[in-house]
Amino acid sequence: MSRIGKNPVPLPKGVKASVARGALVVEGPLGKLEQPIHPAVTVEVDVPGGLIVVTRSGDDRIARSVHGLTRALAANMVEGVSKGYEKKLEIVGVGYLAAIQQNTLQLRVGFANELHVPIPAGLTVACPDQTHVTIKGIDKQAVGQFAAEVRALRKPEPYKGKGIRYENEQVRRKAGKAVTK
């Protein structure tokens, strides 16, 4: 039995869940999310108890692998519509900066041209100052994917540490050529 899959997902106040047309729909104060359900598992919503319970139909390999995944996705959906997700990026480097103009994130990170990254629908991106970017949304996957794409534009390099990094990310620094002498 899956250790993660057998645990029910509690629904906080203000969050409603339902199963319709082979998909789990979760609504909360921040929005609505929908996730298709694999046929190898069944999802039941216990309304009086306020729980989402995931069970698998058989004991074959695909059912076992999808059991815990479906429960984790349901838990992420519940947390997303109740609290939301947030990723913070910081930009390190002389002259490196970020700004938001309309629906585009503009980055100056040491290239000849400014980078323009369109902000996906459903996400809110803010720049409290020129060296920090905050990405918020209800979909955990979308928030993490956009943060990873922005970071990949200029990863932190190991010699000076310049680039875009997650907040509190530790960048391993290398000694330069001068150490050999």
Q: Per-residue pLDDT tens for 115-143?
A: 999 999 999 999 999 999 999 999 999 99
Q: What is the pTM of this model?
A: 0.90
With a pLDDT cut of 70, the percent of the chain lying above it is 97
CA-wise closest residue to 147 among 109, 117, 172: 117
Q: Which two tokens stand for residue 148?
A: 């990873």
Order across the sheet with 41-46: list the strands: 9-10, 51-56, 41-46
Q: Which domains does the chain have, with CATH numbers?
A: 9-82 (3.90.930.12), 85-166 (3.90.930.12)
Torsion angles phi and psi, residue 142, rounded to 5: -65, -40
Percent of the chain with pLDDT over 90: 79
* CA nearest to 130, candidates 159, 93, 87: 93
